[in-house]
């Protein structure tokens, strides 16, 4: 597989703030790549460097085989961007803004444009200043998807959309993926990335702290087990990789490291399992693994974070 985006050792400072601090990122051609991190982690800065809107201090970035700063215009014909905070021209209608952005990119598929406008339930005759945040977002999404781009850079594209539109968005992205498009989807909405992304990179303080498929990542983390056994389960605490054990007669609750899951379930079996519920780690827990210290610093003590 070829790489749509390769980034190595990217740094970018704004005055005293270090927005990117040696960031590495690989996005394969044809995949939906989730780009996760809280506000201020450097997601938007990374995407703007990939667009050639910002120039990195050090490090290299390649987008579709080109240099995003030097070849900005040629690359922009092949990619489309949805900013996190869409600002429109107050006097232009949504339809005009869509056509403007799409034509400047190099052409628009009229049929697809009208189809998208209908699916997103957007009124293209309203002026930019009367659109809500969600509607401005829709304008940018339609403009990006109506043109025939190979690569979609989406910076928290659904921040203002309602749940119904969120579903439409997921359909549209799934369809784009089926057409062979590459998508870099930045978000702090974990459920969305979970549904769409093939691989995920987690960014923190301008660095990628973890990257891989969701199953790979889950393997690295703990599964929560809740079980009811015929006889009280004993000796669980002696097993390797067990955390937060709570027992209550026949009920037992604990978290276990991915690699020791097998041992723990076998031991439980010895006591006669009546019911067993296992929770794979959610993306929240994946994130908290990396952000737990920050949350604690802010006065929040979470189980997963403390673990």
Partner 1 sequence: MSATPSATNDTGTAGTTKTRPTVSPRTSEGASVLAGTRTLFRFALRRDRVRLPVWVLALFLGTISSVSSLDTSYGTAKKRADIAETMDSPAGLAMTGPKHYLDDYNIGSITAHQMLGFTAVLVGIMSVLIISRHTRAEEETNRAELVRSGVVGRHAYLAAALAVAVVANLALGLLLAGGMAGMGIDGVDGQGSLLYGLAHTAIGIFFAAVAAITVQITAYARGASGMAMAVIGAAYALRAAGDVGNDWVSWLSPIGWIQRTYVFVDNRWWPLLLVLVAAAACAAAGFVLSTRRDVGAGLKAARLGSPVGSEGLTSPLGFALRLHRGLLAGFGGGALLLGVMYGSILGDAEEMIEGIGELEDQLAEIGGANVAESFATVVMIVLAVVCSIYVVMAGLRPRAEESAGRAEPLLSTALSRDRWVLSHTLVGAVGGTVLILLAGIGFGAAGAASTGDGGLFLRLVGAALAFAPALWVTIGLAVALFGWFPRAVTLAWVVPVYGFVVDYLGEILKFPDILSDLSPFGHVPQLPAQDMSWPPLLVLTAIAVGLVWLGLVGFRRRDLETK
Q: 95 CB contacts (<8 Å, ≥6 apart)? A: 117, 124, 125
Q: Which x/- pattern, by CB under 8 A, does the window 94-113 give for partner 1?
A: -xxxxxxx-xxxx-------
Give the range of 86-94, 215-223, 245-253, 268-276 binding partner 1 by CB under 8 A: 86-94
Distance CA 222, CA 260 (A): 9
Task: Taking each helix axis as running N to C, give the angle between helix 133-146 and helix 163-178, from 0 to 180 degrees, rounded to the nearest 10.
Answer: 10
Look at residue 306 and give its three-state secondary structure. helix
User: What minimum distance in Å lies between the beta carbon of 73 and partner 1?
Assistant: 5
Enclosing H/E stretch for 114: helix 110-119
Is 88 or 236 the residue whose CB approaches partner 1 more closely? 88
Helix boundaries (H) for 26-93: 43-50, 72-76
CB atoms inside a 10 Å sphere around CB 247: 15
Cβ 108 vs Cβ 146: under 8 Å: yes
Residue from 33, 76, 218, 289 touching partner 1 (CB under 8 A): that is: 76
Is 105 or 222 the residue whose CB approaches partner 1 more closely? 105
135: DSSP letter: H
Contact call for residue 86 and partner 1 (CB under 8 A): yes
What are all long-range contacts of 112-115, with beta carbons under 8 Å and residues at least 24 apart?
A: 112/145, 112/146, 113/142, 113/146
User: What minimum distance in Å lies between the beta carbon of 143 and partner 1?
Assistant: 8
Distance CA 114, CA 120 (A): 10
User: What minimum distance in Å lies between the beta carbon of 22 and partner 1?
Assistant: 19
Name which of residues 134 to 193 contact partner 1 (CB under 8 A). Answer: 140, 143, 153
Cα angle value 39/202/25 (rounded, 5°): 110
Is 151 or 202 the residue whose CB approaches partner 1 more closely? 151
Is 126 or 290 the residue whose CB approaches partner 1 more closely? 126
Contact call for residue 209 and partner 1 (CB under 8 A): no
Residue from 8, 58, 65, 85 touching partner 1 (CB under 8 A): that is: 85
Contact call for residue 43 and partner 1 (CB under 8 A): no
Residue from 38, 129, 240, 276 touching partner 1 (CB under 8 A): that is: 129
Cβ 186 vs Cβ 25: under 8 Å: no
Is 91 or 215 the residue whose CB approaches partner 1 more closely? 91
Contact call for residue 55 and partner 1 (CB under 8 A): yes
Contact call for residue 251 and partner 1 (CB under 8 A): no
Residue from 18, 62, 126, 243 touching partner 1 (CB under 8 A): that is: 126
Give the range of 29-37, 125-133, 196-204, 222-230 binding partner 1 by CB under 8 A: 125-133
Distance CA 55, CA 68 (A): 9
Rg of the chain over Cα atoms, rounded to whole angstroms, equals: 23
The site for partner 1 (CB under 8 A) is made up of 44, 48, 51, 53-55, 72-74, 76-77, 79, 81, 83, 85-93, 95-101, 103-106, 124-127, 129-130, 140, 143, 153
């Amino acid at each position: 597989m070829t790489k749509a985006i390769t980034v190595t050792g990217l740094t970018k400072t704004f005055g005293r703030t270090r927005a990117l601090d040696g960031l590495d990122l690989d996005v394969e051609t044809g995949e939906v790549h989730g780009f996760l991190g809280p506000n201020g982690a450097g997601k938007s800065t990374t995407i703007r460097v990939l667009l050639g809107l910002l120039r990195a201090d050090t490090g290299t970035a390649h987008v579709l085989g080109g240099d995003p700063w030097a070849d900005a215009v040629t690359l922009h014909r092949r990619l489309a961007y949805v900013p996190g905070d869409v600002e429109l021209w107050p006097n232009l209608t949504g339809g005009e803004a869509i056509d403007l952005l799409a034509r400047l990119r190099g052409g628009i598929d009229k049929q697809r444009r009208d189809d998208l406008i209908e699916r997103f339930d957007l009124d293209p005759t309203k002026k930019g200043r009367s659109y809500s945040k969600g509607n401005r977002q829709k304008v940018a999404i339609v403009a990006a998807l109506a043109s025939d781009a190979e690569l979609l850079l989406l910076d928290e594209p659904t921040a203002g959309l309602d749940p119904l539109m969120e579903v439409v968005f997921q359909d549209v992205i799934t369809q784009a993926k089926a057409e062979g498009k590459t998508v870099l989807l930045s978000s702090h909405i974990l459920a969305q990335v979970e549904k769409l992304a093939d691989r995920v990179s987690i960014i923190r303080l301008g660095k990628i702290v973890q990257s891989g498929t969701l199953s790979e990542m889950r393997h690295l983390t703990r599964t929560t087990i809740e079980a009811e056994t015929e006889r009280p389960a004993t000796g669980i605490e002696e097993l390797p990789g067990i955390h937060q054990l709570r027992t209550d007669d026949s009920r037992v609750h604990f978290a276990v490291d991915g690699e020791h899951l097998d041992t723990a379930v076998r031991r439980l079996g010895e006591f006669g399992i009546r019911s067993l519920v296992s929770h794979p780690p959610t993306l929240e827990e994946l994130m908290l693994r990396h952000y737990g210290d920050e949350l604690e610093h802010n006065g929040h003590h979470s189980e997963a974070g403390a673990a």
